[in-house]
Chain A
Amino acid sequence: MTRKQKKTLIRIIIAAVLLVICSAASYMIKDLPWWAQMAMYLVPYLVIGYDILLKAGRGIIHGQVFDENFLMAIATVGAVALGEFREGAAVMLFYQIGELFQSVAVGKSRRNIAALMDIRPDYANIERDGVLVKVDPDEVEIGTVIIVKPGEKVPIDGVIAEGNTSLDMSALTGESMPVSVSKGAAVQSGCINMTGLVKILTTKEFGESTVSKILELVENSGAKKSRSENFISKFARYYTPAVCIGAAALAVFGPLVRMVLGLSPEWMSWVMRALTFLVISCPCALVISIPLTFFAGIGGASRAGILVKGSNYLETLAKARYIVFDKTGTLTKGVFEVADIRAEGVDKSTLIEYAALAESGSNHPIAKSIQAAYPDADKSRVGEIEETAGEGVTAVIDGKKIAVGNERLMARAGAKIKAADGAGTVIYAAIDGVYAGYILISDVIKPTAADAVSALKGSGIEKTVMLTGDSEKTAAAVAAAVGVDEYRAGLMPEDKVAIVEELLDKKPPKSALAFVGDGINDAPVLSRSDVGIAMGALGSDAAIEAADVVLMDDNPTKISQAIKTAKKCMAIVYENIIFALGVKAVCLILGALGLANMWLAIFADVGVMVIAVLNAIRALRIK
């Protein structure tokens, strides 16, 4: 509890004891005059309610008439004026108990959520004159060597200068599988060093490091408010005055109607109803539970490696019906690998060996993928190499003339090729002018891609579309393998925007379209779609900037997890709105009819708030 809360607690206890004494006194002394009773009850009333009365007074001076302090002041002063001294003091006491409870509950859940997201490192170890010193990460300059011991958080982004270890990246990506790193590997701040001591050469300042970026993003996510949040704050603005007017009307028109009907007016009973009405109506349960739900949802998602930049995006994501993927980097790894080798007249291994040797001098991505398929190539066997841009490579290996490249190169080498089938880039090879087969190189589909697409179908997505700049053949093969509904191939970057726009027109009303990309070169599409999702963002600042939802690792199953989280969060938001408004509406009607007493009124205020807050906390748990 904070000091303020403790002070309130002490006041509550004193006022409660005084109230009991007063009740006992008025019970034992039978005919106490009214002024003596009033003076007696005024003591606990003022002890517990002086600040509310002051705030209400100040509010009136500043033109803030209809706030909850005003409601309580009117309700209790009204009770006192009617001669219900004990009621007046008791209502004030219960109100304060409720407020304290609310403040403790909200404070506690706020801190719980904040603690879960606390990946901020407190210090960095640097070596000064042979001694390890702990310094504020903010003070560490780029190019400093920091030391991270096992069990410690990596405080600043950098490159490993010395040592091997495995890193627990779960705070960043939500993946619990440790990652092994050694000298030269880039490491992100926020992961936990598990096994060995490492020295890290920092490449960024703390403020620009991954951990700072993530924290900033989550903390600022409140800036983009969702429609439901805006609805609630707007609602609260009209609601309190409306309730006050309603209460006043109840107190005045109730008796008047009775008088017209020829009954006794019963002013007392109607004014009491109006006061109960006022107590029921405090708007805080609504106002608190909605942002708390979003905060918990965003907090829980960030632990799973899903960063949502604002509650409005969570809301949009929950409505997603169309998902558009950029192929490379999302459904496929974006890395070229040898997918197939078809040899003619030689062994497969001989073919790839010669090809790798021939390509050994090249830095072309295709060449690199062939080199990767045969890593033990002995370069000393390679004689003269000739590289022709747009065709391929010819080289002399073991005295044989090897040509590796496309159809044009084969034609020049005099080799007669057989047309290859299969999706991807085809590299033909010829040995001494005789066709020796081909190597098929393609982008590799992520192992989880098909599962991810079917999981999306299960979470209410109506249409999945894949966009790519690749050839029709490649696109068709990938689309069939992962199970997307539609694909468009051979696209230029600006075509992708046009297609997203066309789909935006086609989608069902009130639904949303999400675009998933790797955050590189697709910023226009990310911003044009209703919600832009960037994947594999760990270590890529551009992706973090461009997208609305950022998936820290590159596992596409996280997309459906993000949508499920958003849906759960929205369900809780609606539950809370309906529950709080419903209970309040019922209690208000009961109060107006004279069926609700102060206890019910207090429950309608505090009880609803507490239940709504507890419900909101559920959004934190992400499966």
Chain B
Amino acid sequence: MKKSYNIEVDCANCANKMETAANNTDGVKNAVVNFMALKMNVEFEDGADAKSVMKNVLKACRKVESDCEIYI
């Protein structure tokens, strides 16, 4: 399953860090952050619950970039 989320982040390097953090979250098969469109495209593992996974993704992103936002 693939979903696209709007995000807010200030700098391109921070967006890269969010991408790495999202990819290291359980349940995420592949995540790509498009800083230009301010979008995060997430491909979930089979059977993963998108909502709970995204909560963890947000938590992981906040750790690397405290003022980022993902509109889940």
Contacts and interface: CB of A to CB of B under 8 A. Distances in A.
B32 interface: yes
B24 interface: no
Interface string B16-56: 11000000000000001011111101000000000000000
Contact of A236 (B16, B37, B63, B66): B16
A607 interface: no
A417 interface: no
Contact of B64 (A62, A222, A288, A295): A62
A284 B11 CA distance: 7
Interface residues of A, number: 30
Contacts of A223: 32, 34, 41
Nearest to B31: A223
A220 B41 contact: yes
Given A222-B32, A222-B36, A62 B63 contact: yes
Contacts of A67: 13, 17
Contacts of A59: 64
A113 interface: yes
A207 to B, nearest CB: 13
A114 B12 contact: no
Contacts of B17: 64, 67
B42 to A, nearest CB: 11
Nearest to A285: B12
A58 interface: yes
A233 B16 contact: yes
B32 A284 contact: no
Interface string A62-97: 101001100000000000000000000000000000
A564 to B, nearest CB: 22
Listed from nearest, the 5 A-B pairs whose CB atoms lie closest are: A222-B34, A295-B36, A288-B12, A287-B12, A62-B63
Interface of B: 4, 10-13, 16-17, 32, 34-39, 41, 63-64, 66-67
29 contacts: A4-B10, A55-B66, A58-B66, A59-B64, A64-B64, A67-B13, A67-B17, A68-B13, A99-B10, A102-B11, A103-B11, A106-B11, A106-B12, A110-B38, A113-B36, A114-B37, A219-B34, A219-B39, A220-B4, A222-B34, A225-B32, A283-B13, A287-B12, A288-B11, A288-B13, A291-B12, A291-B35, A295-B36, A295-B37
